[in-house]
Amino acid sequence: MGMLCAVSFNRYGRLYYLDPNGFTPSVGDRVLVPTDDGPEVAECVWAPQWVDEETSGFPKVVGLADDRDLRRDELLRKRKAEAKVAAKKLIKAHELPMKVVAVDHVLDQGSGNARTTIYFTAPHRVDFRSLVRDLGATLHCRVELRQLSARDSARVQGGIGSCGRDLCCATFLTDFEPVTIRMAKDQDLPLNPLRISGACGRLMCCLKYEHPLYQQFQASAPAVGSRVTTPEGDGRVVAHSVPKDSVVVRLDADGSRCSCSRASVCAPRQAHDAHYGEG
């Protein structure tokens, strides 16, 4: 058990959870967050609270941002905006099939050298050597270009999924595992790309981590079309409801449908079907 707070580097951006490290920032306060390139300014969007889980592995807040930190953060944001505009203009001038996704600008406090990293997407590999030279001459710093995959691009940009929540890849999902169309079939989803694709245009990642639940259900639940016995009477399975762990049965008595838990439904009555010649 320990305390955690949540911060974001951009308004409505991805949340990062940290150990407040003894500090008590309020919502809206600017705090210093440890990164690979040194402490960066982020906004507190969730004040420190006690949580049940172990917090020893979370990064710690470095401190509260002062005026000097805020001025530096404002300068970095300005440099990022300038680099993004310059990159778009030069990409158009070079007629390259690239789309700028994000820009990162780092100022080495020790040497005073600056580095700008431009993340982009493209339908194929792009020869951008001349573009890098022109960007370096325009921005007067070292420039790096990194091509992102469709999934990484969605992670960087963020957004809202079809479920109405923030994209999994932009919040808690750290590793991309293979997702197959077989998983969508096992979950009885329509094989319409618009229905089973995420913001990246690839199959939704949630198909992967929900798939074991469907496999477990199908391994023990009576198949659709099976004859079963339920607390409401005999009938035939007409549908599955995996989230509710239940099956929908059409009763023989009056043709009505009832939803029964998987545990309350008996196995298919094959002997009964054979006796009455039902197919």
Percent of the chain with pLDDT over 90: 38
Place of tokens 């009964």: 272
pLDDT of the residue at 110: 54
Number of structural domains (the chain) is 4
Same domain, yes or no: 116 and 181: no
For residue 163, count other CB atoms closer than 10 A to its CB. Answer: 10
> pTM for this structure?
0.67
What does the pLDDT look like over 199-234, one tens digit per residue?
A: 888 999 889 888 998 988 888 888 888 888 888 888
pLDDT of the residue at 111: 54
pLDDT of the residue at 186: 87
CA 149 to chain centre: 14
What does the pLDDT look like over 176-201, one tens digit per residue?
A: 888 999 999 888 888 888 889 988 88
Rounded Cα distance between 153 and 200, Å, is 7
With 50 as the cut, is the pLDDT of residue 278 above it?
Answer: no
CATH code where residue 134 lies: 3.30.300
User: 8-18 burial string, b = 16+ CB within 10 Å, else e?
Assistant: bbeeebbbbeb
Mean of pLDDT values over 68-80? 92
Tokens matching residue 40: 């960066």
Same domain, yes or no: 161 and 116: no
- By residue range, what is the domain housing residue 270? 222-276
Same domain, yes or no: 188 and 248: no
Same domain, yes or no: 83 and 132: yes
Nearest to 100 by CA among 145, 130, 158, 160: 145
Mean of pLDDT values over 231-247? 88
Rounded Cα distance between 144 and 117, Å, is 5
DSSP tag of 160: B
Tokens matching residue 177: 């595992």
Last residue of a domain, one of 15, 32, 65: 65
Mean of pLDDT values over 87-100? 94
CATH code where residue 266 lies: 2.30.30.140
Mean of pLDDT values over 10-32? 88
Rounded Cα distance between 104 and 168, Å, is 22
Last residue of a domain, one of 216, 233, 255: 216
With 80 as the cut, is the pLDDT of residue 276 above it?
Answer: no
Same domain, yes or no: 137 and 167: no
